[in-house]
């Protein structure tokens, strides 16, 4: 939520509340109608139902027939390391991925970059529903703690990928499918604990299919951690509830999930001197009291509640046609709180008290937003042709306001007064058509056309008056050539356009960015050896690149660069050396350049794009000595990278190589419990002192150190 509280927007809170109540009513009305109409269905065909489950995300996912670079993770792979760390951390070992954590231990605020491209350009969907915040375009995993426990599978597409709902993908797309239904009743209790007083407790259940048609499943989670960094604590709770109806040709899912979080702010970073002397220092909340003592405000926190409602209806009309329509609504509300020392009273609408024009105060900056809409798709499939027609329409309404809850000199203020009170709206609609056509037994063609329209209205001191409309046409095409049963090569081209985010408007004269993405790949697949390799060239016009600077609430500041590119080679493999030993290496080599860069009238020529390491590598060794026992060594190398675009020597982040160890042992007693699983994760086993992220305050670098050796251990009981 830290990126959402800059600026002022005009409107009324009443509009926001009225819209939210209306959409909640519509959602539950349709939910009731659907379940009533289909409660008399016939016994289901399990094959068709499994296919219908895939319809939820088929509009935004790809297969090996599609000329797109991608990686999949399923539930089994996720569970071995799912001990409380966020989804980006669980994805850390995928190709071209770099992750970071503000608190230093993977809990609280976490971030992800793919091919050097920041999270605002990674399109995230949950069951095909957009998740990125509409204004900042960021993804705040801290608002959905322990969501990994409800994920059936996920797919990370690198590059532009296929057409999807929500903001256009400019570096990657992450598509998550939540838990499928269970045929039989199940229950699960999981707990984990570890370093920095980290604790996670999770309870899951499923009724199984009742009368061969209905299932209700749910999850409750509670997590806490002190964090590696001083006071970088997090107190997180979440829930997930799903109702499923299964018919002969029908699958209906109604989902309600969300979370609440209270996180002490830790996004300031530390300077180089402090990095060497006190790696865990956190300046957030620091102030000097009236007696000259240095103190830290104990509630310098981020607080946010977020609730999601989704209704999906998948229908198999015939052997060739299937459809999916979804309604969604997300309610978010929260604030962050700061102690401000010697604040100018005029900035907070306070009248000076005599000669006193400044005061110490505690402020809260609030966001109260509603996001709602629909997505839809129809799929037609024959032996040679696979066509998907779809689209979506979404609207965001954001009420922004600030309150002073305490002041040393309160002047005329009353508790509850707003010192700003503003509003913003954004609508995003898209339609697309994409097809795979099998020309011959070996050659298939992929085509994808998308039209997207975005309108954004805002008015604040930082952004100025914004009333922008964007119309984007995003074509994609490619060929897939199966040389033989084991070897496939592919080539694709994709065009993408993307609007600026809220913080971008602060810089003025901001432009939308454009991308031409070329991908050339080779896939090899045999029983014991699978390999994926991919060359990519991403040519940009007006790319919004990270400058390394942050605004006063920790939001990354970006700026247009007229011409830039990313050229790289990705490789990942799975090698079964034996029945017990598997190796899964990957690496990315890339060149990421600004061309003819000029900043503030000074010409720098061709320079490295900030936060874009030339080398990213990962590896997982998996050893299964006996049935049920998995031992894994996980390795990650990230090359050096600059934190700005002018290659300032002080702005260079050093490379790092980190090793984690993961062990999981499952026992199946077949008595009270169906399964007992003990899991252990030791992060950074060689106690490497490293920094995964940083920022520039003018010419001065600030760093986000990550934890040394630390552990998590868990116990899961299934019955």
Average pLDDT rounded to a whole number, residues 264-277: 94
pLDDT of residue 45: 42
pLDDT of residue 101: 95
CA–CA distance from 212 to each of 341, 640, 679 (Å)?
A: 63, 56, 34
Average pLDDT rounded to a whole number, residues 500-516: 88
Strand-strand pairing, 122-126 and 172-178: parallel
Residue 311: count of CB within 10 angstroms of its CB: 22
Average pLDDT rounded to a whole number, residues 77-81: 91
pLDDT of residue 15: 38
pLDDT of residue 8: 36
pLDDT of residue 168: 73
Q: Give pLDDT tens digits for 513-539.
A: 999 999 999 999 999 999 999 999 999
Q: Identify which of 329, 349, 328 has the alpha carbon closest to the alpha carbon of residue 404.
A: 349
pLDDT of residue 542: 93
Average pLDDT score, the chain: 90
Q: What is the DSSP letter of 451?
A: E
- 39 pLDDT tier (thresholds 50, 70, 90): very low
Distance CA 105, CA 10 (A): 39
Tokens 């996180």 locate to: 263
Class of domain 13-718: mainly beta
pLDDT of residue 29: 37
- 589 pLDDT tier (thresholds 50, 70, 90): very high
Strand-strand pairing, 286-288 and 652-653: unpaired
pLDDT: which is higher, 309 or 422: 309
- Structural domain boundaries of the chain? 13-718
- Contact call for residues 295 and 289 (beta carbons, < 8 A): yes
Tokens of 588: 């990315």
pLDDT of residue 22: 41
pLDDT of residue 672: 85
Tokens of 465: 């008056």
Average pLDDT rounded to a whole number, residues 451-476: 90
Of 13-17, 95-99, 176-180, which gets the smallest average pLDDT?
13-17
pLDDT of residue 59: 78
Q: Give pLDDT tens digits for 630-644.
A: 999 999 999 999 999
- State which of 497-506, 540-549, 635-644 shows the largest mean pLDDT: 635-644
pLDDT of residue 21: 40
CA dihedral sign of residues 131, 133, 138, 142? negative
pLDDT of residue 698: 81
Quick check: 380 pLDDT over 90? yes
Q: From start to end of 115-166, where are the E strands?
A: 122-126, 129-130, 151-158
pLDDT of residue 52: 57
pLDDT of residue 54: 65
Quick check: 47 pLDDT over 60? no
- 44 pLDDT tier (thresholds 50, 70, 90): very low
**Rounded to 5°, angle at Cα 40 from 36 and 46:** 115
Share of the chain above pLDDT 70, in %: 92
- 502 pLDDT tier (thresholds 50, 70, 90): confident
- 165 pLDDT tier (thresholds 50, 70, 90): confident
Strand-strand pairing, 358-381 and 321-344: antiparallel
Q: Give pLDDT tens digits for 472-492.
A: 999 999 999 999 999 999 999
Q: Give pLDDT tens digits for 662-711.
A: 999 999 997 889 999 999 999 999 999 999 999 998 889 999 999 999 99
Quick check: 38 pLDDT over 60? no
Q: Please, what is the end-to-end C-alpha distance for the chain in angstroms? A: 37
pLDDT of residue 213: 93
pLDDT of residue 17: 43
- 234 pLDDT tier (thresholds 50, 70, 90): very high
* Adjacent-strand bridge partners of 325: 313, 376
596's CB contacts (< 8 A; 6+ apart) are: 562, 563, 603, 605, 606
Tokens of 4: 């959402």
Of 28-42, 263-277, 330-344, which gets the smallest average pLDDT?
28-42
pLDDT of residue 14: 37
Quick check: 143 pLDDT over 80? yes
- 463 pLDDT tier (thresholds 50, 70, 90): confident
pLDDT of residue 5: 43
Distance CA 521, CA 69 (A): 8
Quick check: 170 pLDDT over 90? no
Q: Identify which of 498, 539, 490, 532 has the alpha carbon closest to the alpha carbon of residue 516.
A: 539
Report residue 453 CA to chain centroid gap.
23
């Amino acid at each position: 939520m830290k990126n959402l509280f800059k600026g002022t927007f005009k409107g009324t809170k009443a509009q926001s509340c009225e819209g939210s109540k209306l959409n909640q009513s519509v959602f539950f009305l349709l939910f009731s109608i659907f379940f009533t109409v289909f409660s008399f269905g016939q016994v289901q065909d399990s094959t068709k139902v499994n296919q219908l489950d895939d319809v939820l995300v088929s509009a935004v996912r790809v297969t090996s027939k599609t000329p797109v670079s991608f990686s999949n993770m399923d539930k089994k792979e996720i569970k071995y390391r799912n001990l409380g760390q966020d989804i980006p951390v669980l994805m850390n070992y995928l190709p071209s991925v770099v992750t970071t954590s503000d608190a230093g231990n993977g809990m609280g605020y976490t971030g992800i970059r793919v091919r050097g491209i920041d999270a605002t350009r990674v399109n995230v969907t949950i069951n095909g529903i957009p998740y990125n915040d509409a204004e900042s375009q960021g993804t705040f995993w801290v608002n959905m703690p322990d969501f990994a426990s409800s994920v059936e599978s996920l797919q990370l597409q690198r590059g532009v990928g296929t057409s999807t709902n929500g903001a256009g993908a400019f570096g990657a797309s992450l598509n998550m499918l939540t838990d499928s239904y269970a045929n039989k009743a199940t229950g699960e209790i999981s707990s984990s604990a570890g370093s920095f007083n980290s604790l996670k407790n999770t309870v899951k259940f499923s009724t199984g299919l009742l009368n061969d048609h209905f299932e209700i499943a749910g999850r409750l989670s509670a997590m806490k951690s002190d964090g590696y960094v001083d006071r970088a604590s997090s107190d997180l709770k979440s829930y997930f509830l799903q109702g499923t109806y299964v018919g002969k040709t029908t699958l209906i899912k109604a989902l309600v999930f969300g979370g609440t979080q209270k996180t002490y702010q830790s996004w300031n970073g530390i300077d180089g001197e402090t990095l060497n002397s006190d790696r865990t220092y956190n300046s957030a909340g620091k102030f000097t009291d009236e007696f000259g003592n240095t103190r830290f405000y104990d509630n310098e926190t981020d607080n946010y509640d977020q609730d999601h409602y989704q209704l999906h209806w998948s229908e198999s009309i015939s052997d060739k046609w299937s459809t999916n329509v979804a309604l969604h609504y997300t309610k978010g509300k929260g604030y962050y709180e700061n102690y401000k020392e010697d604040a100018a009273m005029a900035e907070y609408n306070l009248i000076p008290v005599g000669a006193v024009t400044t005061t110490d105060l505690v402020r809260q900056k609030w966001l109260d937003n509603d996001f709602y809409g629909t997505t839809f798709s129809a799929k037609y499939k024959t032996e040679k042709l696979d066509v998907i027609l779809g689209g979506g329409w979404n609207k965001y309404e954001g009420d922004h306001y600030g309150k002073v809850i305490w002041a040393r000199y309160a002047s005329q203020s009353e508790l509850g007064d707003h010192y700003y009170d503003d509003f913003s709206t954004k609508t995003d609609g898209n339609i697309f058509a994409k097809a795979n056509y099998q020309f011959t037994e070996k050659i298939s063609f992929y085509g994808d056309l998308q039209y997207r329209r975005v309108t954004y209205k805002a008015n604040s001191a930082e952004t100025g008056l914004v009333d922008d409309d964007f119309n984007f046409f995003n074509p994609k095409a490619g060929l897939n050539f199966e040389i033989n049963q084991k070897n496939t090569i592919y080539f694709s081209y994709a065009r993408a356009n993307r609007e600026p985010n809220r913080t971008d408007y602060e810089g003025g004269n901001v432009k939308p960015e454009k991308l031409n993405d070329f991908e050339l790949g080779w896939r090899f697949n045999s029983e014991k050896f699978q390999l994926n390799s991919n060359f990519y060239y991403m040519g940009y016009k007006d790319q919004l690149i990270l400058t390394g600077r942050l605004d006063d609430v920790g939001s990354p500041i970006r700026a247009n660069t007229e011409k830039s590119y990313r050229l790289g080679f990705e490789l990942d493999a799975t090698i079964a050396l034996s029945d017990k030993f598997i190796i899964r290496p990957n690496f990315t080599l890339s060149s990421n350049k600004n061309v003819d860069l000029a900043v503030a009238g000074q010409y720098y020529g061709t320079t490295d794009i900030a936060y874009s390491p030339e080398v990213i590598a990962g590896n997982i060794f998996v050893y299964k000595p006996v049935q049920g026992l998995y031992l894994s060594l996980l390795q990650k190398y990230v090359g050096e990278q600059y934190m700005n675009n002018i290659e300032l020597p002080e702005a260079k982040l050093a490379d790092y190589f980190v090793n984690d160890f993961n062990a999981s042992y499952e026992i199946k007693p077949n008595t009270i419990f169906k399964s007992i699983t003990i899991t252990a994760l030791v992060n950074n086993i060689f106690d490497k002192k490293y920094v995964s992220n940083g920022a520039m305050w003018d010419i001065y670098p600030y760093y986000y150190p990550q934890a040394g050796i630390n552990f998590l251990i868990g116990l899961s009981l299934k019955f």
